[in-house]
Amino acid sequence: MNKHERYVQVCKQMELLGITDVSTQRQKNNDTRVWRLPIKNKWKSGSFIEVASFTTGYVRNQNSGYSNYQLNKRCDSKPEYYNINPPNKEPLYRKFTTRSCVLIPKEIDRLEYLIAYCLKNYYIKHANFVAEGVYVSKWEHEWELEKANKFDCGHYDRIKELESDVHNLENKLATIERIASDRNKWEKE
């Protein structure tokens, strides 16, 4: 698949997911793209989740000015060793590693990664963060369900029994009507 076909495919996927470009002119001039998802931010009422792609190779969450964070995958650096003893003593080395982001240099690769990340972490994990919906956590849902079952007075079971009785009576009535119509046919003959 060539570069143009990949861009067309990414654009179709974004359109299908309802992801819109909300980049300012200044961001566009810097080759930065900001995308708005049709999912409301749980922690910032009234705003939608936004993510951005930067020419530096980073993909970031843009939900607030002070806590934007990288969405790139993380990797450990090669270990480095430092002598922690003074120069005139026997060397004692300490191993030191850092974690850094795996940069994504090509824009099309960043956009594909961004779509995959958003699908997994926003669309699937936060399925009930829809624009008009209200988020209910799993534990809260289970607690409400348990509470409803605990305080159930048996009405649900009783309704099911009554529905079964009505169904049985309807079957008996249909049988009686069939027998009556057959009897009428026999008497006429």
Q: How confident is the model over 35-59, as a mean pLDDT?
A: 85
pLDDT value for 187:
60
Tens-place pLDDT, residues 164-187: 777 777 777 777 777 777 666 666
**Tens of pLDDT along 47-57?**
888 999 999 99
- Domain containing residue 171: 152-188
Are residues 129 and 39 in contact, defined by beta-carbon separation less than 8 angstroms? yes
Question: 21 forms bridges with which residues in the sheet?
Answer: 35
pLDDT of 32 over the 70 cut: yes
The alpha carbon torsion through 43, 99, 125, 64 (nearest 10 deg) reads 20
Locus of tokens 């002070």: 66
In a domain, 84, yes or no: no
pLDDT range class, residue 128, cuts 50, 70, 90: low
Tell me the CA distances in angstroms from 106 to 7, 35, 53, 70, 155, one per residue in order.
12, 17, 10, 16, 61
- Whether residue 157 is contained in a domain is answered as yes
For 87-114, what is each residue's pLDDT tens digit?
888 888 888 888 888 999 999 999 999 9
d(CA 109, CA 164): 58
Closest CA to 23 of 15, 12, 31: 31
Look-up of token digits 């009234």: 46
User: Residues 70, 156: one domain?
Assistant: no
Angle, CA of 171, 172 and 177, to the nearest 5°:
100
Q: Is residue 16 part of a domain?
A: yes
Domains held by the chain: number: 2
Predicted confidence (pLDDT) at residue 147 exceeds the cutoff of 80: no
Same domain, 108 and 182: no
Q: Both 36 and 123 in a single domain?
A: yes
Residue 90 resides in a domain? no
* pLDDT mean across residues, the chain: 80
CA dist 90 → 81, 82, 85, 94, 96 (Å) = 15, 13, 7, 13, 19
Residues 108 and 171 in one domain: no
The rounded distance, in Å, linking the Cα atoms of 109 and 4 is: 13
- Percent residues over pLDDT 70 in the chain: 75
Other beta carbons within 10 angstroms of residue 20's beta carbon come to 14
Amino acid sitting at position 3: K
